[in-house]
Structure 1
Amino acid sequence: MSGAARAVPGRWELPALRLWHAALAGGFLVAWLTADEDTYRMHVFAGYWVLIAVALRLGLATVGTRQGPLALTRPGRSRLMIWMGGVLMTMVGVAALSGVIADGKSAFEDVHEGLSNAALWLIPAHAALVAWVFQGKRLRDKVIGAARVSAVPMLLLAGLVLAVPAQAADPARDAILAGYAKAAKAADPGFGGFSAARGESIYRARNTVNADYPSCATCHTDDPTQPGRHAKTGREIAPAAVSANPKRFTDAEKVEERFNRDCKTVLGRECSARDRGDFIAFLSSK
């Protein structure tokens, strides 16, 4: 193809770019919504889909015209848009790649989660930048004016948001246990506290409800300080014991979600507040 021909954008390029955006966004959304053991295979599929989409974007740039929408850089295009697109695509690709690594090495799970969260926040930032560039001076003047007024409070708020998680690991677990203790006391006025021994009984109890998961130890091993492996997907699981995995039982939403799911799956019943506190007490003692 001659240089002159390549300078004229093809009619197919803009639809191709829109389809690519839909494929990447759809894959990322599915991966985000299926980040759980029950839907893990779909999560893995979506992750590979995202990786392929990122690679495809680079390929499309080589077959598109220099002045067309598929070009990664072109004269007249905002440098900020170019940088934001590059950063977003890189972050999404690295997040997906870290998921591939985490699939075999559970130590990378936190890295994968952090990169995925960062990529998630970059998406609305990218959309805002598109509006910033294409909606003209009026929008920019409004945003700049608002930013001048709110810059200091926003910086202070960001500092608080960043500071809180670093200090909240143990207090967060204590708060979860306090909530379970309150619920257990309400259910049984004679409740005298949680028991690591009872928690160990739950951990090691065997059942016939689900042949794939006869006990907690099936996936987490008899020694909860060691990495486990999911009985169905084969994915490595970080140690269940708090001593080996200090982040265990520090996210109240995840704790509730997993108790609600796993008690039914493994024990064939709901876990009471006392059961949950006992279980945490056992794994906190290991």
Structure 2
Amino acid sequence: MSAAPYKPSRWEFQGVRLWHAALLGGFVIAWVTGDEDTYAMHLFAGWWVAAVVTLRLVAALLAPAGSPLALKRPNRNQMLTVSILSTLALTVLAAFSGIAADVAPFLEDPHEALAVMSLWAIGLHVLVAVIVFKGRQWLRRMSAALVLVALAAVPAWAAEPARDAILATYAAQAKQQDAGFAGFSAARGEALYRSRHTVNPEIASCSTCHTDDPTKPGRHAKTGRVIEPVAVSANPKRFIEADKVEERFMRDCKSIFGRVCTATEKGDYLTFLINR
């Protein structure tokens, strides 16, 4: 006589739901805090994701075959199983590569690539789950969300035009502020980058965090976090988002110089680092 099939308890299903919520929350926080200013939260979220995925894998090893906690179930759709395993693998690799990148900066790019791949894997997992459990009607309802996931994973391809547009904006502002404005200067930008001030003893200069050589990785003076090179030649992702560039100027100029930078200073600074 064969053994009765395993009957999962409602607590197991609740555990799966809570795990999904914990993973999604950690991933979203890690995704939106991948910046120097929010690095502590980004690092915490990375550890959280790593811990949640590790816990899930341990639970899968200990759970009986018929449990929803098991990665492979006799009656589970194979396509769903593959999407689960690929999502878990990419997510845990993204988390641990990010943690390792804190001490090994050369892992920053692989970490970011894995994070983007994880986002795609999550989107595909949602798609598969919708098809398997809810059918085409729910798929139509989820289509807008899936499009947003896809768009979030698309890299910024137009780096050079974006920088040109930012410089053009600052040039227009500089002409309004100074009728004698004759263009930006990399030499003035370098002088600004290296100038030292007494407003904030912890961060007396741009070079305090970014080092005297902007093509090399720096380290945040307060958090100790490794910062990718600020020079475009070493880090092509720099200075392509106008809002973020302006936000940095507003924050850093007040922090280092004790005032708002002029449009000419902003353009000079960018010109120096774009051509460095």
TM-score range normalised by the length of the shorter chain: 0.7 to 0.9
Aligned pairs for 1:83-94 (under 5 A) are 83-94=82-93
Q: Which region of structure 1 is more displaced relative to structure 2, 91-100 or 262-271?
A: 262-271
How far apart, in 2, do the equivalents of 1:248 and 1:106 lie?
16
Q: Which region of structure 1 is more displaced relative to structure 2, 261-270 or 176-185?
A: 261-270
Match of 1:265 in 2: 255
Structure 2 CA distance for partners of 1:267 and 1:113, relative to 1, 3 Å: farther
AA aligned to 2:263 is: A
Match of 2:71 in 1: 72
Q: Which region of structure 1 is more displaced relative to structure 2, 74-83 or 113-122?
A: 113-122
Structure 2 CA distance for partners of 1:250 and 1:45, relative to 1, 3 Å: same
Unaligned runs of at least 5 residues, structure 1: 147-153
How far apart, in 1, do the equivalents of 2:84 and 2:128 lie?
10
Unaligned runs of at least 5 residues, structure 2: none
Secondary structure of residue in 2 paired with 1:247 = coil
Q: CA deviation at 1:138?
A: 5.4
Q: Which region of structure 1 is more displaced relative to structure 2, 33-42 or 46-55?
A: 33-42
Identity of aligned residues (%): 53
The answer to whether the Cα contact below 8 Å between 1:51 and 1:93 also exists between their aligned partners in 2 is yes
AA aligned to 2:83 is: M
How far apart, in 1, do the equivalents of 2:23 and 2:209 lie?
33
AA aligned to 2:226 is: E
AA aligned to 1:116 is: A
CA root-mean-square deviation: 2.8
How far apart, in 1, do the equivalents of 2:228 and 2:199 lie?
25
Q: CA deviation at 1:11?
A: 3.9
Q: Deviations over 1:201-235 (max 9, x none)?
A: 22122222223211111011122232222212222
1:274 to 247, 256, 264: 264
1:204 to 185, 188, 194: 194
Q: Deviations over 1:181-209 (max 9, x none)?
A: 12222332321101122212221222222
The answer to whether the Cα contact below 8 Å between 2:36 and 2:227 also exists between their aligned partners in 1 is no
AA aligned to 2:37 is: D
The answer to whether the Cα contact below 8 Å between 1:30 and 1:46 also exists between their aligned partners in 2 is yes
The answer to whether the Cα contact below 8 Å between 1:220 and 1:228 also exists between their aligned partners in 2 is yes
Q: Deviations over 1:144-200 (max 9, x none)?
A: xx9xxxxxxx9xxx9xx78x81xx333332222122212222332321101122212
When normalised by structure 1's length, the TM-score is 0.82
Q: CA deviation at 1:60?
A: 0.8
Match of 2:15 in 1: 16
- Higher relative helix content: 1
Q: CA deviation at 1:278?
A: 0.4
Match of 2:95 in 1: 96
How far apart, in 2, do the equivalents of 1:258 and 1:121 lie?
29
2:224 to 225, 230, 234: 234
AA aligned to 1:28 is: F
Match of 1:60 in 2: 59
How far apart, in 1, do the equivalents of 2:5 and 2:219 lie?
52
Structure 2 CA distance for partners of 1:119 and 1:241, relative to 1, 3 Å: same
Structure 2 CA distance for partners of 1:105 and 1:260, relative to 1, 3 Å: farther
Q: CA deviation at 1:102?
A: 1.8
AA aligned to 1:257 is: E
Q: CA deviation at 1:67?
A: 1.0
Aligned pairs for 1:99-118 (under 5 A) are 99-118=98-117
